[in-house]
Amino acid sequence: MPAPLQAIDHDVHRAVRRIPRGKVVTYGMLAELIGLPGRARRVAAAMRKKPEGAAIPWHRVVGKRRRGVAHVAIQDPYGAQIQRGKLEAEGIVFDDKGGISLRAFGFVVR
C-alpha cells in the first residue's frame, strides 16, 4: 500500500528544508530523493499548497529546462520575482534568459 498523501507532502517539506544556502534542486530531483521517481508534478502539487507561511526555503526549488540548466518555474510573475530575488541574494547566478547556472545544482545529503 502506497504512502498516505499527507506523508508525501511531509517528505517534500523535509527534503526542501535540507537544501543548503546557495544551491537549488529541481522538482524531478526532489521526487527521486523522496522515493517517487518521475513524479515531479506530485512534488509541485505539494509545494503549491504547503509554502503558506512555512519556514522552508521553497525558493530553492526550481524547474529543469534542459540538461544542466534550470529556471524559476512559478507561473505567478510576482512570486517568480520574489523567488529570483531570494536566490540572487544567496549568490545564484541567472543568465539573461532566466537560466540558472550549473554550479548551483544538487547538494550532498548528510
Partner DNA sequence: GCGGTGACTCTCG
Partner DNA sequence: CCGAGAGCCACCG
Site residues for DNA, 70-89, by CB under 7 A, read 73-75, 79, 83
CA distance 8 to 72: 23
Structural contact between residues 83 and 76, judged by C-beta atoms closer than 8 angstroms: no
Residue numbers 33-62 binding DNA by CB under 7 A = 38-45, 47-49, 51, 58-59, 61
- The Cα 62–Cα 102 span in angstroms is 12
Among positions 7-26, residues that touch DNA (CB under 7 A) are 8, 26
Q: Which helix (H) or strand (E) holds 47?
A: helix 40-49
Q: Is 63 one of the binding residues for DNA (CB under 7 A)?
A: yes
Closest CB to DNA among 19 and 47? 47
Residue 61: HSE in the Cβ half-sphere, 13 Å Cα cutoff = 28
Question: Applying CB under 7 A, which residues contact DNA?
Answer: 5, 8, 26-29, 38-45, 47-49, 51, 58-59, 61, 63-64, 66, 73-75, 79, 83, 97
